[in-house]
Amino acid sequence: MAIRNIRVIGDEILTKKCKPVKEMTPRIRQLIDDMFDTMYEQNGAGLAAPQVGVLKRIVVMDVDDGNQYLLINPEIIEEEGSQTGSEGCLSVPGKHGIVTRPAKVKVKALDRDMKEFVLEGEELLARCICHEVAHLQGQLYVDLVEGELMDNDEEEGEEEQA
Ligand code: ZN
C-alpha cells in the first residue's frame, strides 16, 4: 500500500493533457493500486492520474454504490439530460461549487486486462465520470462553477470530492 501526494490547483501538471495507456505493465498496475489507496485515504469519490502527478489516462472511482471503478483511456460516448449540484475536488482542498453536468453518461474504457467495456452512470457516478475525464484533459471543475467557489463548512461534514 502506498499513498501518493495529491497535486493541488496551481500545479502545472493539472492543466496538461494525459497520454493514453498503450500496454499494461507492473508499473501501471502499481500506479492503479496506489491511486485506489490514495483515494480511500483522502475519502475521495474519484481520482485521476494527473492528481498524483502522472500524465496518463487512468481514473479510479468509488461512489459508495458497492463497486470499485477503474477506467483506462476513458472516452465519454453518450450524454443525456442534466443535473446541477455541489462538486468538490481533492486537488482544490476545502472548497466546493455548483456545477451542471449530464444526468447520465456512457463511457467506453479499458479494464485492468486492457479489455474494452462500456459503463453507464447516473447521478453521482455520472458527475464523477465527467469530473475525472475532465482531469485527463487538463481541466478542473473550478472553471465550470456557477457563481462563487465556496468554502467547505466543517460542521456539515465532508463534501463529495473527486
Ligand atoms: Zn478532481
Do 32 and 21 meet the contact criterion of CB atoms below 8 Å apart?
no
Kindly state the DSSP code that residue 19 receives in the 8-state scheme: B
Bridge partners, residue 69, by sequence: 61
pTM to 2 decimal places: 0.96
CATH architecture of residue range(s) 12-161 = Alpha-Beta Complex (3.90)
Query: What is the distance in A from the centroid of ligand 1 to the CA of 44?
Result: 9
In tens, the pLDDT along 4-61 reads 999 999 999 999 999 999 999 999 999 999 999 999 999 999 999 999 999 999 999 9
Q: Is 132 noted as a catalytic residue in this protein? A: yes
Do 50 and 136 meet the contact criterion of CB atoms below 8 Å apart?
yes
Q: Residue 1 pLDDT > 90, yes or no?
A: no
Query: What is the distance in A from the centroid of ligand 1 to the CA of 25?
Result: 25
* Residue 96 φ then ψ, to 5°: -150, 165
Which of 23, 120, 132, 156 is an active site residue? 132
Helix (H, G, I), strand (E, B) or coil at 143: helix
Give the mean pLDDT of the chain: 95
Closest CA to 79 of 110, 99, 63, 103: 103
Query: What is the distance in A from the centroid of ligand 1 to the CA of 9?
Result: 10
CA gap 82, 153 in Å, rounded: 26
Query: What is the distance in A from the centroid of ligand 1 to the CA of 49?
Result: 10
Query: What is the distance in A from the centroid of ligand 1 to the CA of 72?
Result: 17
Domain borders along the chain are 12-161
Closest CA to 89 of 148, 34, 48: 48
